[in-house]
Amino acid sequence: MPRNPTVGYIAPFLVYVGMMVLPLPPEWLWPIRFVIVSTVILAFSRPYFSLKPSYLVASLGIGIAVFLIWIGPDVLFGYRHHWLFENSIFGKPATSLPANLQHNYFFLTVRVLSSMVLVPILEELFWRGWLMRWLINTDFQKVPLGTYSPMAFWLVAVLFASEHGSFWEVGLAAGIVYNWWILRTRNLADCILAHAVTNGILAAYVLLFGQWQYWL
């Protein structure tokens, strides 16, 4: 267990995001990052989260609901190319994945596992396990999971939205839902499960219907 618990909460997220700048093609970057971030989680973060949700069925339902929120605007209204979502700040809703990798089964397996396994753990540790509490008290371990502070709640939701580029508005909605869920459950495992369900169904949607724009 790391001497400073902050390392366990933030290291996987920082490593995952930091490796995006490496000058590697995606077919190399994703597998290498998967191995390294998995190692960081096992080495530093494992003591700080559980995989035992308190509300199994409800967490599954939350994950499905966030998936529907994520794709709903495009399916119902198709406004994704409006200037609010396609601009120099947020980019545009188009995948950076080369066409040849869309049929590379090894790469797709790593990509799906990253979305379903790594991302829910590292993001929930960082956003709702650490930052949401750190904003209340820098000695964040004194703040119980699920403690409500308006500033922490909304700032985390906005920052969570900002990392989702042109999907920022559904990212904001997802951040609000996940934040609300940690308030209700006070258990990071429930948020990890909900997040994993969302990402897993979204991955299936991308692969089955060719909606690659959701994998920026």
20-29 CB contacts, 8 Å cutoff, 24+ apart: 26/96, 26/97, 26/98, 26/101, 26/107, 27/101, 27/104, 27/107
pLDDT score recorded for residue 3? 64
Q: What is the pTM of this model?
A: 0.95
pLDDT digits (tens, 9 = 90+) for 179-205: 999 999 999 999 999 999 999 999 999
| Domain ranges, ordered by start, for the chain | 50-214
- Is the pLDDT at 80 greater than 90? The verdict is no
Phi, psi of 144 (to 5 degrees): -65, 145
19-28, 38-47, 89-98: which has the minimum mean pLDDT? 89-98
pLDDT digits (tens, 9 = 90+) for 139-171: 999 999 999 999 999 999 999 999 999 999 999
Q: How confident is the model at residue 2 (pLDDT cuts 50, 70, 90)?
A: very low
Q: Residues 115-138: what's their mean pLDDT?
A: 98
Q: Residues 27-45: what's their mean pLDDT?
A: 97
Q: How confident is the model at residue 94 (pLDDT cuts 50, 70, 90)?
A: confident
Angle at 90 between CA 87 and CA 95, to 5 degrees: 95
Averaged pLDDT score across all residues of the chain: 95
If we measure between CA atoms, which residue out of 33, 162, 23 comes closest to residue 91?
A: 162
Q: Residues 82-91: what's their mean pLDDT?
A: 89
Count of positions (residues) in the chain: 216
Neighbour-count burial of 155, counting CB atoms closer than 10 A to its CB (0-12 exposed, 13-18 middle, 19+ buried): middle
